[in-house]
A = this chain, B = another copy of it.
Amino acid sequence: MRKVAIVGIGQTPVREHWQSNLRDLAVSALRDAMDDAGVETLDGVTVGNMLSGALSEQEHLGSLIVDYAGLDGVEGMKIEAACGSGGAAIRMAVKAVASGLMDTVGVVAVEKLTEYSGNHSTAALATAADADYETNMGLSFVGINALLMRRYMYEYKYDKRDFAVFPVNAHMNALHNPNAMFHFPIDTDTYASSKPVADPVSLLDASPIADGAAAVIVVAEEMVDRFKGKPISILACEVGTDTLALDNRKNPLWLRGVERSVKKAYYIAGVKPSDISLFEAHDAFSIMSALSLEASGFAEAGQGLRFAAETGVGIKGGLPMSTMGGLKGRGHPVGATGVYQVVEAIMQLRREVPAEIQVPDIKYAMTQNIGGSGATVITSILKCLNS
């Protein structure tokens, strides 16, 4: 099994891209990543996407994107794992390169949601939950997160304002990321007075649906000298799963999928939580940030909010999070999010981000992409090669 590195990254701004279709967005990000790596062709492409069939009447994205990217005849495959599709596509590319079957694999993740916002996109997103035991009862994803948040507040005696730490930090960092969707700061009062969506989840707890595409070029570490882009090692890219339906879990406040995924990732990378310099968590909702911190070994059960407030999750804090805005500030183009996280972590490792959001003394960056309410979790640990 070969070691694996990323030598190229690309992304479109996260926006409401009503003038670009799926293939345009995907090809733009993929070609940018190829230019960054200095490659003309690829041995294969994995595509992360959740909703092209339901919303754009287009499945079969693998071959489509390969063709429109000018990669005539190259293998292209779409992977779907709900909001974890991007991370899953990276995982598949890592397998292909580690195996020796392929030397150079492009990963591109794309989503287009905003043209179909409203009931249509909410229903489409709900296909990430259990259709028979959750969705058919009328439970949407906001509803699921509201149940989790309410239970967490009750169980661990928190106030709604205690969750402000995550969205306030996300919006602060997004301000300096030109590709982020939101460029306005918020404070605890703004947060606490924002409109309810599904009580206690309010508008500023929820990441926005968005359009966008992000891409990386995965290669065998032994070949990095052939490429232009500064190489970043993928020390681990590991998957953990859990039940789709919340009611099948013994303790819905403990994300076993996260725990399984990070334990493998730490072990394979040979690091521990205290080694991590920045953590791009899957902050689709504020409650997910708290639960992810706990199941990832940074805080005890019920202590995620306290950890965030005391250790600090800002750029100069003990564990910087959502450093380019996270899902909340950068935006959440669902199936593409996992690749945005990795692209941003690489920009941090390469020191290519604006000074205001550059994490100092960075060594190990961790990204965590989650599908559904924790049923598929992909945790990656990255580091500059030869550092």
Residues of A within 8 A of B (CB): 1, 21, 23, 50-54, 56-64, 66-67, 73-82, 88, 91-92, 95-96, 98-101, 123-124, 126-132, 135-136, 239-244, 248, 256-257, 260, 371-372, 375-376
A127 lies within 8 A of B57 (CB): yes
Which of chain B's residues have a CB closer than 8 A to the CB of A131?
Answer: 56-58
* A44 closest partner in B (C-beta): B239
A64 lies within 8 A of B244 (CB): yes
Give the number of times this chain occurs in the complex, counting copies. 2
Kindly provide the distance from the CB of A235 to the nearest chain B CB, expressed in whole angstroms: 14
Which of chain B's residues have a CB closer than 8 A to the CB of A60?
Answer: 80-82, 127-129, 244, 371-372, 375-376
Which of chain B's residues have a CB closer than 8 A to the CB of A99?
Answer: 1, 95-96, 98-101
C-alpha spacing A313/B74, complex, angstroms: 31
* A93 closest partner in B (C-beta): B95
C-alpha spacing A239/B67, complex, angstroms: 14
Q: When A53-B51, A60-B80, A99-B99 are in contact, do A241 and B73 touch as well, CB less than 8 Å?
A: yes
C-alpha spacing A256/B73, complex, angstroms: 8
B101 lies within 8 A of A63 (CB): no
Kindly provide the distance from the CB of A141 to the nearest chain B CB, expressed in whole angstroms: 12
A77 lies within 8 A of B92 (CB): yes
Q: When A57-B131, A59-B50, A73-B242 are in contact, do A375 and B64 touch as well, CB less than 8 Å?
A: yes
C-alpha spacing A243/B74, complex, angstroms: 11
A75 lies within 8 A of B241 (CB): yes
C-alpha spacing A75/B57, complex, angstroms: 28
Which of chain B's residues have a CB closer than 8 A to the CB of A124?
Answer: 53
B77 lies within 8 A of A375 (CB): no
A241 lies within 8 A of B74 (CB): yes
Cross-chain contact of A67 among B127, B240, B241, B371 (Cβ < 8 A)? B241
Kindly provide the distance from the CB of A218 to the nearest chain B CB, expressed in whole angstroms: 13
Which of chain B's residues have a CB closer than 8 A to the CB of A77?
Answer: 79, 81, 88, 91-92, 239
Q: List 17 A-B contacts (CB under 8 A).
A: A53-B127, A57-B126, A58-B131, A58-B132, A59-B128, A60-B80, A62-B81, A63-B243, A63-B257, A63-B372, A67-B244, A77-B79, A77-B239, A78-B81, A92-B92, A96-B99, A99-B99
Which of chain B's residues have a CB closer than 8 A to the CB of A61?
Answer: 80
Kindly provide the distance from the CB of A206 to the nearest chain B CB, expressed in whole angstroms: 20
Task: Give the 5 A-B residue pairs with the shortest CB-CB distance, closest first.
Answer: A99-B99, A58-B131, A63-B375, A59-B127, A75-B239
Which of chain B's residues have a CB closer than 8 A to the CB of A73?
Answer: 240-242, 256-257, 260
